[in-house]
Structure 1
Amino acid sequence: MMQISDSYNQKNSLFNAMSRFIGAVNNMDQTVMVPSLLRDVPLDDSGDLQAARTAKGAAANATAYFHQDADMYSAYALLKSIRNDMEWGVLQGDGRGKERAGATEVSRAEAEEDDLEKQFHYHLNGLHAVLSKLTRKANTLTNRYKEEIGCGN
């Protein structure tokens, strides 16, 4: 039986991907001292937007939140919200929890008929891809904020 500490050290483990994402968002949060400065500053990351359009599966759903018209502040708020959901869980009282509950009932019926191991690996791969993209987004936002306020690396 594999211990958690063994799997945590694996480069591509889910724990490691989650840790990298949470660390990047924590760094972003500590760096961005005045979040209001991010308002109306365009994301201007066409490479990430193009990746969001061409990605398939769960990764496309997560990166689609970074709309072309979005500013850095909305991306900042979204990244912090995702981090909080990961750390504290999703509250059933918010709108997202209710939407997920309906989808979960449909998924349950399908899960009984399909191969659970296949579904697990599909979603695990999707989650890992999404976390990697969100980590890059947090790091990019941190660097862009530093550029905007004139702070060097």
Structure 2
Amino acid sequence: MAQKAIHSESQKHASVWSAAAAAILAVICLAWWLAYDPTADFAIHVPGMDHAPVIPGSAGHAEVIRIGEFFDSFDGRESTLPGSWPRFRGENFDNINTEKVPLANSWPAGGPEVLWSVALGEGHAAPVVFDGRVYLLDYDEENKADALRCFSLA
């Protein structure tokens, strides 16, 4: 009977030690997994590292385009027109104007009267309407730069 008790006691100690060893191994594996940085061996590659010959007009050597250096304002007359269209597709991004301005149900054969127009450069910027003015990011081909333009609706 004494031997059974010793054998049972020794099995308890063995199972405690194996559980402790498994827990320690799990903690070591978790620590290694959290500390491992797979990007540590990455090399940074930047244009020019290959020492390729410079070709004028190629993608890496194009003319510099300046952004945000010019602001054009036309016709200083202020407008008292209400309403706003603060961003692309309108206030709620749904292309729905919530202003209480009546819209025409039909146009004359030649279309509506053009109240004003202006030539713009290349680009696809959406206009913003606020406080009786139209703001538009345009491309100034002469200066080779973007230009923020402000037009009065008066």
Identify the TM-score tier after normalising by the shorter chain: under 0.3
* TM value normalised by structure 1: 0.22
Higher RCO structure, 1 or 2 (CA under 8 Å, sep 6+): 1
Structure (1 or 2) with the larger CA radius of gyration: 2
Q: Give the structure with the larger helix fraction.
A: 1
Q: Give the structure with the larger strand fraction.
A: 2
* TM value normalised by structure 2: 0.22
